[in-house]
Amino acid sequence: MAYIGAVRQVRIQERTQEVRALAYRFRLLRVVEEYHEQVARACAVAESQLAAFRSGSASVAIASFQLLQPRMLHDDNWEMHALLGRRAVELILTIDDLTVRLGQFDQQIRTEGTRTDSSFANATISQRDVKEAGQPTHVQEHAIVDYAQVLDQLRAALAALMVELEEPNRTLPWHKLPLLGWRRVARVTTNLAARTHPPTPQGAQTASSRVDGSLRR
């Protein structure tokens, strides 16, 4: 009975945890979908500016959308994020890092009016394909390239997180524990006792009874 009670208690706690995780997964999915739509629109504009820049068009100011990361994706919710599994947590951390980098770009665009052919203060360092005389081999990437790249990476991470959140919950190991009924437990207990202490055949005397008889005589 103690075994049955312990297993049932574990299952009740696990089901409660599953319901909690499922509710949070559903709420977070709606938030991520909305954020993904905003990032996708910004990414389309940035890719359009990048294509114009690569085609040789004149330098223009980068269009900044100043996207705000949803509160549910902040690090403050790390305990709730842990309910979603390791892969989801990794994607949320990636999204957080990319959002921070995007915010740094937006801040510089607002204060300095960064243009497509300029570079951000924390720009990616790229290597020239051909070394020219007197020219450095490593240079800062153009601002529009970095801006479009971080938006594309953010969009991809959000899309992967949506797929992860839509997956059904996996069965955890303790769901496979056997839960015996009380009648079966009684049978198992009786069989174990019988194997441990076999019954004495009818008409047979044990060694102790013979010794007791001899002493009485």
- Which residue intervals of the chain are DSSP H helices? 2-54, 78-81, 86-112, 143-166, 182-196, 207-216
Look at residues 83, 79, 88 and name the one whose alpha carbon lies nearest to residue 18.
83
Rounded to an integer, the average pLDDT of 146-151 is 96
Q: In which band, very low, low, confident or very high, does the pLDDT at 143 lie, cut at 50, 70 and 90?
A: very high
- Residue 113's region, left for phi above 0, alpha for psi from -120 to 50, else beta, is left
Q: Return the half-sphere exposure (C-beta side, CA atoms, 13 A cut-off) of residue 144.
A: 21
CB 22 within 8 A of CB 121: no
Question: What is the reported pLDDT for 41?
Answer: 95
Question: pTM score, two decimals?
Answer: 0.67
Span 54-100, pLDDT tens digits = 998 888 999 998 898 999 998 788 888 888 889 999 999 999 999 99
Look at residues 69, 148, 143 and name the one whose alpha carbon lies nearest to residue 113.
143
| Least confident stretch, 3-12, 32-41, 112-121, 187-196 | 187-196
Question: What is the reported pLDDT for 28?
Answer: 92
Average pLDDT of the residues of the chain: 78
Question: What is the reported pLDDT for 185?
Answer: 47
Within 8 A by CB and 6+ apart from 69, the residues are: 35, 95, 96, 99
Question: What is the reported pLDDT for 182?
Answer: 44
37 versus 204: which is more confidently predicted? 37
Indicate if the pLDDT at residue 191 is higher than 80. no
Question: What is the reported pLDDT for 163?
Answer: 94
Question: What is the reported pLDDT for 195?
Answer: 57
Question: What is the reported pLDDT for 192?
Answer: 52
Q: In which band, very low, low, confident or very high, does the pLDDT at 172 lie, cut at 50, 70 and 90?
A: very low
